[in-house]
Structures are given as C-alpha cells and as structure tokens.
Amino acid sequence: MLIISQNLTNYGIPTPENAIFRINLAWTNSLDELENLLVHHNDRNIFVDLPIHRTKPPNNKYSIEDLIPILQSHSNVKYLAISNVESAKDLKKYLELFSSFLTLIPKIESPTGVNNIEEITNAITSKEKIIMLDHDDLYSSMLKKNEPSENFVNYINKLADHCTKNKIVLEHLKTTDIVL
C-alpha cells in the first residue's frame, strides 16, 4: 500500500496512479476543504486520518456527526485511521459508526498501544486488518514516560511480530522531508 500525503500535492510533485491519497484532518481547515479535496481526488482511493486526542498543532476538530455523511457520500474513501489507539475501547465508537463502509485502521502511537496490540487487532471487524505505526509519536511517548530509548526497537519488533504472525498489514507512518 503506497499512501501519499495531501501535503505532497502542495509542491506539484506527480504521484503514482495506484497511490492512495491520505487526507489528515489535522491539516484540513474546514469541512468545505475536506469536500474539495475529496472531489479533486475522486479518481483515487482515499485514506482519511482522524486525529483523536491530538495535542500538537495543528489540531482542527470536527464532529463525528458532521463527518459521517461526507465520508459516506464519497465511495472512493476506503480507509479511516483513528489516532492514538491504546485499547479496543478506543475503537468501539468508530467501529459502530464507520465499519459498515470503511476499513478502520488503528494508529499506534504509544507503548500502551503496542502492549495492547492483540486486544486492538482482535476488535477490528474488517476482512483486511491494517494497523499504522507512528514512529515519531511512539518515540516521543516513550521519552515522556522516561523510558529508555533502547525500548523503541523492542516495541517495533513486538508490533511487527504480532502483525506477521496474525497476517495483519503494518503500515509505517514516517516523517518525510521534501527538498526542492
């Protein structure tokens, strides 16, 4: 799965036709802007990233009730990532609201999320199970909890092993610098 960020299009860089277009709602200033992005990229499968419990800027917020009809009305929206998932309980509301028409993807961003990965992946109801790891946020979360940096590799290995054993797709969210 090749996922291309909405920010890449700000630079006019061409993207492969088979790439999935990722819209991060933290970086989307209004629901009208979301609608415009969905219409503009109607020829691509769309991956929407919903920032839950986000503390760093930008931190745009949308009501779930406002998002449901928008996401339902665009058949090219295929994936919904839920940020900061640390337990199956964090997914419950989103599974009830969206799992009938979207593949939900829990984003793992903390040691707690890694440690609860079996519970989290068991809660996913879609045929294809996908999780996303945010390396930067996992590392930051470790540091905030005063964990030794050596634990970082152990957490990644634990997550990767679980996904491999259970045939779960593990996507890696990385920060990429664009130099023009």
Write out the chain's pLDDT in tens, 180 residues: 777 787 777 777 877 888 888 888 888 889 999 999 999 888 889 989 888 876 666 666 778 889 999 999 999 999 999 999 999 999 999 999 998 899 999 999 999 999 999 999 999 998 889 999 999 999 999 999 999 999 999 999 999 999 999 999 998 865 444 433
Q: Rounded CA gap, 73 and 63, in Å? A: 16
Q: How many residues appear in the chain?
A: 180
Q: Rounded CA gap, 3 and 46, in Å? A: 9
Q: Rounded CA gap, 177 and 156, in Å? A: 22
This prediction has a pTM of 0.87
| Confidence at residue 176, expressed as pLDDT on a 0 to 100 scale | 46
| Confidence at residue 74, expressed as pLDDT on a 0 to 100 scale | 94
Q: Rounded CA gap, 129 and 142, in Å? A: 26
Contacts of 100 (CB under 8 A, 6+ apart): none
Asked whether the beta carbons of 65 and 96 are under 8 A apart, the reply is no
Give the helix ranges, DSSP H, for 23-129. Answer: 31-40, 64-72, 92-98, 111-115, 117-123
| Confidence at residue 54, expressed as pLDDT on a 0 to 100 scale | 65
